[in-house]
């Protein structure tokens, strides 16, 4: 089995005949979707952002996750009766006769106590690149596995974070998009959180059982 960490974008493109495109309607609908932010959420985001501004150049990836990314994910409230946010859970699948697997930093998948089918894959990094691999490629590799595990022909969503920069990704068939960065130390933080809230609604609509 080849792990997510082994891949680069070039290797994924060549091996699976993938094509990176600038954008796609499902990505635009996700990034531009509407979601209301309560006064409490806006105040919480300002608190989280201030911590990020003070520490982003010094935090390692675990500190970034515990002190900033985790609180944003918790504030978005992905726990429902039909899907949940899971961290460091094993996921694997066979894509074009090649077995791929690993433990993404996070994913939103159907299931409550254990992940079943992933719909959103997430990776975090402190720097642009890391001795353990390319964050965009690791995310895309996990998204390919999610696509194989998903019997519905729906897009798969993803995100990778490099310090203060958030990149949102979409995989549809064999084409994928990577957004321009949203910078969490700026007012983009409110767009980042809005996009995370829109994602919850998208995934709820994908699932056959939409009760939450």
Angle between helices 9-16 and 135-149 (to 10 degrees): 30
Rounded to the nearest 10°, the torsion over CA 65, 71, 73, 75 is 180
Residue 111: Cβ within 10 Å count:
14
pLDDT of residue 132: 58
- pLDDT 10s digits, 108-131: 999 999 999 999 999 988 754 455
**pLDDT tens-place string over residues 64-91:** 999 999 999 999 999 999 999 999 999 9
Contacts for 74 with CB less than 8 Å, ≥ 6 apart: none
Note the pTM of the prediction, 2 decimals.
0.94
3-state secondary structure of 100: strand
Domain boundaries, the chain: 2-206
Q: Which alpha helices (H) appear in 124-187, and where do they start and end? A: 135-149
CATH architecture type of domain 2-206: Alpha-Beta Complex (3.90)
10-residue averages of pLDDT along the chain (212 residues): 95 98 97 98 98 94 94 97 96 96 97 96 74 84 96 89 96 97 98 98 82 44
């Amino acid at each position: 089995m080849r792990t997510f960490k082994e891949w680069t974008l070039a290797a994924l493109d060549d091996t699976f005949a993938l094509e990176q495109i600038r954008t796609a309607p499902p990505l635009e609908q996700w990034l531009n979707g509407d979601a209301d932010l309560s006064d409490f959420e806006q105040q919480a985001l300002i608190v989280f952002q201030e911590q990020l501004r003070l520490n982003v150049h010094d935090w390692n990836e675990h500190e970034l996750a515990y002190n900033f990314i985790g609180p944003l994910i918790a504030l978005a409230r992905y726990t429902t009766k039909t899907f949940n946010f899971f961290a460091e859970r094993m996921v694997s699948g066979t894509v074009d006769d090649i077995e791929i697997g690993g433990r993404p930093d996070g994913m939103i998948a159907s299931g409550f106590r254990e992940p079943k089918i992933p719909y959103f894959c997430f990776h975090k990094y402190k720097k642009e690149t890391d001795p353990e691999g390319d964050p965009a490629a690791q995310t895309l590799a996990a998204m390919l596995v999610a696509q194989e595990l998903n019997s519905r022909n729906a897009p798969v969503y993803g995100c990778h974070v490099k310090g203060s920069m958030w990149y949102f990704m979409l995989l549809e068939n064999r084409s994928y998009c990577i957004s321009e960065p949203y910078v969490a130390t700026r007012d983009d933080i409110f767009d980042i959180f809005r996009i995370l809230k829109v994602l919850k609604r998208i995934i709820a609509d994908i699932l056959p059982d939409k009760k939450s």
